[in-house]
Amino acid sequence: MIAIVDYGMGNLHSVSKALQKVGADNIVTSDADIIRQADKVVLPGVGAFGDCMRNLIQYQLADPIREVIDQGTPFLGICLGLQMLFEGSEEDPAVEGLGIFKGMIRKIQAPGLKIPHMGWNDLSFPAESPLFKNILAGSYVYFVHSYHAVPADPAIITAQAAYGNLVTAAVGRNNVQAVQFHPEKSSSVGMSILKNFKEMMK
């Protein structure tokens, strides 16, 4: 069973439906015990970094997320769910992130291009990730974001997109994988990514 973390924000039901389409049983929940016991955990997020982190703390779900990550449970962050894994964000410097990965979320630098970065963009893969098994370089996915991750260790970047400069599209280390784009809105490529997550082993 995959637990989708419900902290009052995010595109929870579209993520749930997409996982159902690839045959993954899932539950949308804010129950810390269900999250701790799940086979896999998904943290979606839409909106502003500070609001998402404040809600996560208010729902008392930050520590359960750290616990499942520490115990090796396969974990997928989506959009703001990726950003919250870092130490903080320029979007709301007063709010700390979960600190799973060292580094910060920075505003996209794309002179002459519109921010937010919105729409379809192709991916390149600087490092391997179980999420991108059998996904070809140049595959297109759907983005909506103004900020992206700048990890302290660039080796955790598993996918990038060119938008003015290179934008971090995915990061990962061991059981923790996260994407900045929306797989649930990314057609067959997104479904393949979610299927790959479903098949990740502990």
Give the active site residue among 117, 145, 182, 199: 182
How far from each other are the two terminal CA atoms of the chain, in whole angstroms?
13
Question: Is 79 an active-site residue?
Answer: yes
Task: Count Cβ atoms below 10 Å from residue 33 Cβ, excluding itself.
Answer: 9
Beta-bridge partner residues of 41 = 3, 75
Give the active site residue among 117, 145, 184, 199: 184
Vertex 73: Cα angle to 46 and 80 (nearest 5): 10
Evaluate whether 99 touches 57 at the Cβ level (below 8 Å).
no
What are the two backbone dihedrals, phi and then psi, of residue 120, each rounded to the nearest 5 degrees? -85, 140
Question: Is 87 an active-site residue?
Answer: no
Which of 162, 158, 151, 149 lies closest to 126, judged by CA? 158
Question: Is 67 an active-site residue?
Answer: no
Give the active site residue among 79, 117, 145, 148: 79
Residues recognised as catalytic: 79, 182, 184
